[in-house]
A and B are shown apart, each in its own frame.
Chain A
Amino acid sequence: MEKIMPAKDRLLKSGKNGLGNEMRGKVLVILCAVIMISVTISITIFLGTKGLQSFIKNGVSPIEFITSTKWNPTNKANPEYGAFPFIFGSFAVTFLSALVAAPLGIGAAIFMTEIAPSWGKKILQPVIELLVGIPSVVYGFIGLSVLVPFIRENIGGLGFSLLAGTIVLSIMILPTITSIATDAMSSLPKSLREGSYALGATRWQTIRKVLIPAGLPTLLTAVILGMARAFGEALAVQMVIGNVRDLPSSFLDASATLTTIITLNMGHTTYGSVENNTLWSMGLILLIMSFVFIILIRYFSSRRKMQ
C-alpha cells in the first residue's frame, strides 16, 4: 500500500509537490526573453556607435553623406563620401518592387479567398510556400543568367539595372505580401460579405467597396513587410543591379543600394578606416529604416484594432 504523504508535503509550496518545476520553467522562458531583448539592444547600441563614428571621429559631414551624389572614398587627396545614390537605389528598388508586387499579391489573395476558395488555394498555397523557400542566391542567380541577358537584348542597356533589381525583388516579396493579404481577406467576417450581397452588390462591388476597405490596414501591413524585406535584401539584388556609384538616370541604368555597397566593400576595407566607418553608417540607416517600417506596421495594426 502506498504511503500517504503528510499534508505539509502535499499542499505547501515548499513541500515535495511544491512549485520547484514551475519555477524552473519560468526561469527558462524569462532567460530566453532576456537573451532576445539584450541581443537586439546590443546590436542597436553597437550599430549606433559604429555608425556615428564616421561623422563624429572622421568628420564626414552627415549632410554630405545623405545628400551628395559623389562617392569616392579611396581618393587620397580629396575623398568624397556621398551615399545618396545608394540611399536612392535602396528606396527606388523597394518602392518599385512594392508597386509591382502589391497589386499582384493582393490580387492573388483575393483570387484565393473570394473567387476560387476551394481549388485556387490548393494550387496557389504550395506555390507561395515554394517561393518563400527558394534562397535569395538562387533568385539572384536566375536573375543574372536569365533576366539580365533578356533585358540587355530586348529592352536595352547593360542588363544590369534598376529594372532587373526591381523584378527580382518583386518576385521575392510576392509570397510575403500574398500570404499576409490572404490571411487579411479570409479573416474578414462572413457577415460583411452577406451584408453586401443582400443589398444587391455584385461580387466585384463587394470586393472593391466592402472587403478591400475593411481589410486595408492588414493589406498595408502586408505591403510594408514586403518592403522591409526588399529594403534589406542584399545578395540577389547585388547580383543583378550592376553596383555602380552613380545616380541612375533611368530604369535601365545600373545602380547600387545600401546593402549591396556594404556587402561589396566590407571585405576589403580596413576595420576602423573612414571608408569602413561609412559602411557602418549605411548599416545604421538600414536599421533606422527597419524601425520606421515597424512603426508603420504598429500604426496600421492599431487602426485595425480600433475598427
Chain B
Amino acid sequence: MSENILQVRNLEIYYGDKRAVNGISMDVEKNAITALIGPSGCGKSTFLRTINRMNDLIPGARAEGEIIYEDLNLLSDQMNVVALRKEIGMVFQKPNPFPKSIYDNITHALKYNRIKKKSQLDEIVEESLRKAALWDEVKDRLHKSALSLSGGQQQRLCIARTIAMKPTVVLLDEPSSALDPISNAKVEELIIELKKEYSIIIVTHNMGQASRISDKTAFFLSGDLMEYDVTEKIFTNPSNQKTEEYISGRFG
C-alpha cells in the first residue's frame, strides 16, 4: 500500500459567495504524479492553488474543509504560509523567471533561507539545474539574463528554482501548455524524473500528457470531483460517463 502525502477532506473553495469547488475528498499519493484534468473553470487550478495557499492572494477567496499534510491542516489560520510554500512549491503556466541572471533566479529564494555561502550556493545551483535537465545547456552562461533563454528553458529554470528549495510536493499548473512540442517533451521527461524525489500534482488540459506521465488522474467538472482513479483505468475504462465524454473530446 502506497503512502499518502496529502489527504483532502470535504474541501470547499469560494470566491466571495460563489462556490468554485464543491466539497471534494481525495488522497494524493507520495512520490507519484497526480494529474488533475477537466474543462476550463472546473475548479482544478483553484484546488491546486489552495494546496500551498497561493489562493490567499486573491481577494475574497477562502477555503473550508481540510487538506491534511503530515497531520496538519494546511487550511488552518495558524499556518505560516511563507514556510508552507517552501515545502510545497509551485510552477506556473507561463514561465515566470525573474529579470535576473540564471544563477540569481535559483539562489534568489535560497537567500531568504539564510543560505549565503558561495560554495554552498554554487552546489545547489548546479544540483538543481542538473535535476531540471538544464545544466548542460546553461552551465557556460549562468550569469546571463534568464530572459535570454527560450520558453522551454525558462520553464525548466522555474522548475529548477522550485526544487532548489527542496520541497516535498511540487504543484504544476499547466506547466507546458505555453511551450512548443519539443520543449513540452523535455518538460514531461523531467517531471517523470522528478517523482523519484517529490510528490507531484499537475493540472493539464492535454489528455495525452495526463495519460503519458501521471500515475493517478482526477477528473473535475463544475467544481465536483467526478472520478479519481489510476490513470490507466481513467483513460481506458472510466466508470463515469462524463469522464469518457471528456477524455474522448466530446466536450470541454
Contacts and interface: CB of A to CB of B under 8 A. Distances in A.
Given A194-B54, A194-B57, A214 B85 contact: no
B135 interface: no
Contacts of A270: none
Given A199-B89, A200-B109, A191 B94 contact: yes
Interface in A175-203: 189, 191-202
Given A118-B59, A199-B161, A200-B85, A214 B98 contact: yes
Given A118-B59, A205-B112, A209-B108, A198 B89 contact: yes
A199 B108 contact: yes
B99 interface: yes
B92 A194 contact: yes
B85 A199 contact: yes
B158 interface: yes
Contacts of B108: 199, 209-210
Interface residues of A, number: 20
B96 interface: yes
A195 B96 contact: yes
A89 B130 CA distance: 57
B70 to A, nearest CB: 17
B6 to A, nearest CB: 17
A189 B96 contact: yes
A307 interface: yes
Contacts of A213: 98-100
A307 B112 contact: no
Contacts, number: 67
B90 interface: yes
A185 to B, nearest CB: 14
B1 interface: no
A223 B84 CA distance: 38
B172 to A, nearest CB: 11
A202 B82 CA distance: 6
B217 interface: no
Interface string B61-94: 0000000000000000000001111100111101
B26 to A, nearest CB: 22
B109 A199 contact: yes
B165 interface: yes
B176 interface: no
B204 interface: no
Contacts of A307: 99, 145, 147
Contact of B112 (A192, A193, A200, A214): A200
Contact of A210 (B54, B91, B94, B98): B98
Nearest 8 CB-CB pairings of A with B: A200-B86, A191-B96, A199-B109, A198-B90, A200-B85, A195-B96, A307-B99, A214-B99
Given A193-B57, A198-B90, A200-B165, 10 more contacts: A194-B57, A194-B90, A194-B96, A199-B85, A201-B112, A202-B82, A210-B108, A213-B98, A213-B100, A214-B98
Interface of A: 118, 189, 191-202, 205, 209-210, 213-214, 307
